[in-house]
Amino acid sequence: MALETIRDAWKGFIAVAIAAAAILAAMTFLFTAESAPIKVGILHSRSGPMAISENSMVDAELLAIEEINARGGLLGRKIQPIIADGKSDWPTFAKEAERLIAQEHVSVIFGCWTSASRKTVAPIIEKYGQLLVYPMAYEGLEQSPNIIYTGAAPNQQVIPAIKWSLDHLGKRIYLIGSDYVWPRSINEIMKDTIRALGAELVGEDYIFFGSAKVSRAVEKIKLARPDVILSSVVGDSNKAFYQALTDAGLSAKELPVVSVSIGEEELRSLPIASLQGHYSAWSYFEAIKKPENERFIRAFRQRYGADRVTSDVIATSYFSVTLWAKAVEEAQSFDIQRVKRNMLTETLDAPEGLVSVDPYTQHTWRSFSVGKILTDGRIELVWTIDRPIRPVPYPPTRTKAEWEEFLSALYAKWGGRWANPIEAD
């Protein structure tokens, strides 16, 4: 009898021990899961023609993450950036977006520059119910429930750029851009604006994405004799374009270019002698005199070197991470839908000034400035709207249905792509 009692007691002890071990394992797993780093995706072109612009966006996003981690992270967890290279190739962007979501299990993706990459990534983001924060000025004509657009919409960049150009440079306008959805779309918007303001469009042309074949376009510009060129040429093509203008005797004094794609960072890799005196139009320039901008510039240079510069896409990439982090803290959760709802009411004192996410459009209120490119590669402010402008993703010159029909026609013309796949001879 005593032996049976001992056996029963021993079985009970083992059962209790097993239960305790299971509880301890569960608590350990829960503690580990709750304290493990939270992954965020960073998806930009680290190689290819767009690396000239997008590598600096990665730098800015990493700086913001490092600052957040230095303050203890978010909700007791450090942020772990998972960097993916879109390689300036739209299918690669889509593939990497899916990998970040399905394999890396990121909580958010900060990414893309070109609209072709964003439009290729968007269906993946929507399929998984993920959140993309897009920190680049773009053509508008879109409102995805899974994207927060922190870059400028057309009424915050290209339309003010047209108005300033007409007031200060002349009424005869030539439009040139890279041959994909963003330049094609903003040029349609600018053509509507040019007609409405009584100016004259004297020419329009496109350069194959990443191409250095620009001589034909420059010859057409010479024949058209415009007062000003509005340029949405992107990436490495700008090297050839500005050099060809100079070689043709078309300096900034004879024919100014107003770019909506070149900032301070791009100037580091471009032939500055060919760009001096030309103009750039953005929401942010390094020359903005605000305490928050001075702090940002100082932090960026301390992290990456005294020779580094900031630009609109750098500042936007930086405050995009900060906006997301602020929403996480207010939501007290990394849940995508809760964080997105909080982002739609966020306001932040960014390097350019106050920025706010508009809850009706999921776009951001942004400022606007025009800058003149100097011989040392800096950009001098020449005109500023020193207040945030409400975003209007769909310009009212056409209905939403008409704009969507325009985009659908482009997509079909290019064989189900968001960029022209064929370079002209």
261 and 313 belong to one structural domain: no
297 and 356 belong to one structural domain: yes
Please list, residue by residue across 261-283, b when 16 or more beta carbons sit within 10 angstroms of its beta carbon and e when fewer do: bbbbbbbeebebebbbebbbbbb
216-228 tens-digit pLDDT: 999 999 999 999 9
168 and 309 belong to one structural domain: no
134 and 227 belong to one structural domain: no
Q: Residue 175: inside a domain, yes or no?
A: yes
Percent share of the chain, pLDDT over 90: 90
Q: Residue 243: inside a domain, yes or no?
A: yes
Q: Are 287 and 371 in contact (CB under 8 A)?
A: yes
Answer whether residue 67 shows pLDDT above 50.
yes
Q: What are phi and psi of 365, to 5 degrees?
A: -65, 125
274-291 tens-digit pLDDT: 999 999 999 999 999 999
330 and 183 belong to one structural domain: no
Per-residue pLDDT, 9: 57
Q: Are 302 and 45 in contact (CB under 8 A)?
A: no
Q: Are 269 and 52 in contact (CB under 8 A)?
A: yes
364-420 tens-digit pLDDT: 999 999 999 999 999 999 999 979 999 999 999 999 999 999 999 999 999 999 999
129 and 245 belong to one structural domain: no
Q: Residue 10: inside a domain, yes or no?
A: no
**pLDDT classification of 13: cutoffs 50, 70, 90:** low
Q: Residue 101: inside a domain, yes or no?
A: yes
**pLDDT classification of 18: cutoffs 50, 70, 90:** low
Answer whether residue 130 shows pLDDT above 60.
yes
When divided into structural domains, the chain yields a total of 2
What CATH number does the domain containing 399 carry? 3.40.50.2300
86-119 tens-digit pLDDT: 999 999 999 999 999 999 999 999 999 999 999 9
67 and 96 belong to one structural domain: yes
Give the number of residues written for the chain: 425
Q: Are 131 and 109 in contact (CB under 8 A)?
A: yes
Answer whether residue 33 shows pLDDT above 60.
no
Which residues constitute the domain of residue 62?
38-152+290-367
**pLDDT classification of 19: cutoffs 50, 70, 90:** low
Contacts of 45 (CB under 8 A, 6+ apart): 51, 53, 54, 55, 85, 86, 87, 88, 113, 117
187 and 141 belong to one structural domain: no
User: Which residues pair with residue 175 across a beta bridge?
Assistant: 204, 230
Answer whether residue 26 shows pLDDT above 50.
no
Q: Are 60 and 315 in contact (CB under 8 A)?
A: yes
Q: Residue 239: inside a domain, yes or no?
A: yes
151-208 tens-digit pLDDT: 999 999 999 999 999 999 999 999 999 999 999 999 999 999 999 999 999 999 999 9
Q: Residue 134: inside a domain, yes or no?
A: yes
265 and 206 belong to one structural domain: yes
Strand pairing of 379-389 and 364-373?
antiparallel
336 and 283 belong to one structural domain: no
Q: DSSP string covering 331-388, please?
A: HTS--HHHHHHHHTT-EEEETTEEEEE-TTTSBEEEEEEEEEE-TTS-EEEEEEEEEE
Per-residue pLDDT, 424: 79
Percent share of the chain, pLDDT over 70: 92
Tokens of 388: 């945030």
Q: How far are the Cα atoms of 27, 39, 158, 227, 331 from residue 31, in angstroms, in the given order?
A: 6, 17, 50, 66, 20
Q: Which of 20-24, 186-190, 313-317, 411-415 shows the lowest per-residue confidence on average (mean pLDDT)?
A: 20-24
**Angle at alpha carbon of residue 336, lines to 330 and 339, rounded to 5°:** 20
Q: How far are the Cα atoms of 98, 181, 253, 310, 324 from residue 366, in angstroms, in the given order?
A: 30, 22, 30, 17, 17
163 and 182 belong to one structural domain: yes
139 and 160 belong to one structural domain: no
Q: Residue 326: inside a domain, yes or no?
A: yes
Answer whether residue 255 shows pLDDT above 60.
yes
pTM of the model as a whole: 0.90
CA distance 335 to 340: 9
Q: Residue 386: inside a domain, yes or no?
A: no
51-70 and 312-331 helices, crossing angle to 10°: 40
Q: How far is CA 389 from the centre of its chain?
A: 18
